[in-house]
Amino acid sequence: MTFYSTNNSANIVSVQEALFNSLPQDKGLYMPSSIPQLPADFLDSILNQSLAEIAYKLTKLWLHEELTNAQIEELVTHAFPFDTPLVELEAGRKYVLELFHGPSLAFKDVGARFMAGLMSIYSGMRSREVHILVATSGDTGGAVAMGFHNVPGVRVSILYPKGRVSMLQEKQLTTLGGNIHAFEVDGSFDDCQAMVKAAFLDEDLTSAFSLSSANSINIFRLIPQSFYYFRAMAQLGADHAPVVFSTPSGNFGNLSAGVLAWRMGLPVQAFVAATNMNKVVPDYLTSGLYSPIDSLTTLSNAMDVGNPSNFVRLQRLFNDDFDHINQLISGFHFTDAQTVDEMLALRDSYNYIACPHTAVGLLGLESYQHSYVDNCGIALATAHPAKFSPAVDTIFGHSVDVPERLATLANRTKQAAAIPATFAAFKESLLQLV
């Protein structure tokens, strides 16, 4: 398996190169040189299989030249000890795919844990410690911190926007210690992301550290995120209407992963790109014009992204054919007031407690199904509602049950370096870690 840069298709690299140097020097993004196609009996063969079992088969399609079957087995069983259950809201028509049963209670565990496992397979062969930089709008940081905590040969620096992540999200990023460092940036997520991108292009830093990224720009976070789209299909069984996935989106890694699954041969009627008021992609789908904005702060804060880093990948998955993108993907955006109403409506109609991001996904699905009736809709539930306490408690008027693994964090002490939103400040603090 090889990868090319979206800015230069002649820039071809190996798995290790794309894994550890996730951003090509030409500032493009890595994409697979070829996309494996599903064997004819694949979809029948995964019916009723677990996430780990399906991940095993799919990882083999991608990495059979690089890894032994035993390595793949070890990778997927360690990465995916949890499931992604499909919860029925309306039989045959409306489902929620819960992606938050991993340790950080958000779907980002899936990509982060697979990537961490793959890096630990290769890190033994490398002479230098790998230093992972990651910008987070809330959930990536926790998944990456937990996925990499105590992994030998790897150190992680996490940048997060001050005051824009929830209390429990912040605890997940800042309380592990050891090989995990947290930077509290006085700015937005976009600032954090720009600081990370600048670090990869800075010669002082790239010579002091063997830098790597765990953002959704790393192709090895994206590939495993395609696995749960297959897991959803496997739970529907053999007999169902054409499937529509609604993906609550920010950086568009999750949606790109769904489109990747479709490119491998997963039968999907349509995807819904559901966003909050950071609606550059829905606007693009309407107008054909892509106009990044400064990100707006919303209730669904993990989707507050004004210039989604995977947008280029999404286009490339359609060979940059706008009409084709527009045919397969429908975009919808929603205000915070609509999101709150939806959270209450989901509770009242289905007794289902959704986080704000998941509510945006369900709103997107409902908008789509308003126009297109005969389909089986699956909205992705991207995080557990308790991660967004106290905002969600205020909405529901009572506190949402906090799973044990999250509750224990509340008493731990935050350790983070507070820095202004400038690359110079970040560089200086990083160099102190040498």
Ligand X SMILES: *Cc1c(COP(=O)(O)O)cnc(C)c1O
For residues 398 and 252, give the distance between their C-alpha atoms in angstroms, rounded to a whole number: 32
| Rounded Cα–Cα distance for residues 167 and 142 (Å) | 12
Cβ nearer to ligand X, comparing 243 with 257: 257
Q: What are phi and psi of 274, to 5 degrees?
A: -105, 125
Q: Does 357 bind ligand X (CB under 6 A)?
A: yes
**26 vs 4: CA distance, rounded Å:** 11
Torsion of CA 245, 298, 145, 58, to 10 degrees: 10
Judged by CB under 6 A, the residue of 75, 97, 106, 214 near ligand X is: 106
Least distance between ligand X and beta carbon 139 (Å): 3
Residue 94 β-bridge partners: 90, 377
Choose between 224 and 253: whose C-beta lies nearer to ligand X: 253
Q: Per-residue string for binding with ligand X, 136-175, x by CB under 6 A?
A: --xx------------------------------------
Say if residues 97 and 378 touch (Cβ distance below 8 Å): yes
Residue 355 CB, shortest distance to ligand X, in Å, is: 6
Copy the structure tokens of residue 206. 């790239």
Nearest residue relative to ligand X (C-beta)? 139
Interface region with ligand X, contact rule CB under 6 A, candidates 51-59, 242-250, 288-296, 312-320: 242-250
Nearer to ligand X, 210 or 301 (CB): 301
SS (H, E, C) 225-285: HCHHHHHHHHHHCCCCCCEEEEEECCCCHHHHHHHHHHHHCCCCCEEEEEECCCCHHHHHH
Size of the site for ligand X (CB under 6 A): 17
Dump the DSSP string for 23-66.
S-TTS--EEESS-PPPPTTHHHHTTT--HHHHHHHHHHHHHTTT
**What's the min distance (Å) between Cβ of 168 and ligand X?**
13
Return the bridge partners of 132, or none.
156, 212
Site string for ligand X, 245-274 (x = CB under 6 A): ---xxxxxxx--------------------
Residues 108-127 that bind ligand X (CB under 6 A): 108
Of 79 and 259, which CB lies nearer to ligand X in the complex structure? Answer: 259
Partners of 333 in the beta sheet? Answer: 275
Measured from the CB of residue 197, what is the shortest distance to ligand X in angstroms? Answer: 16
**Residues 40-69 vs ligand X: string with x where CB under 6 A?**
------------------------------
Instruction: Pick the closer one to ligand X by CB: 56 or 189.
Output: 189
Q: Looking at 112, 135, 302, 340, which residue binds ligand X (CB under 6 A)? A: 302
The sign of the torsion formed by the CA atoms of 95, 355, 142, 411 equals negative
265: phi > 0 → left, psi -120 to 50 → alpha, else beta; which?
Answer: left
Smallest CA-to-CA distance from 283 within 262, 311, 258, 316 is with 311
**Contact positions with ligand X (CB under 6 A) in 303-332:** 303
> Binding ligand X by CB under 6 A: which of 6, 84, 216, 298?
216
Q: In terms of Cα–Cα distance, which of 142, 143, 121, 144 is closest to 131?
A: 144
Query: Rounded to the nearest whole angstrom, what is the least distance from the CB of residue 97 to ligand X in the complex?
Result: 13
Give least dist CB 126 to ligand X, A.
Answer: 28
Residues 383-402 that bind ligand X (CB under 6 A): 383
Binding site for ligand X (CB under 6 A): 106, 108, 138-139, 216, 248-254, 302-303, 357, 382-383
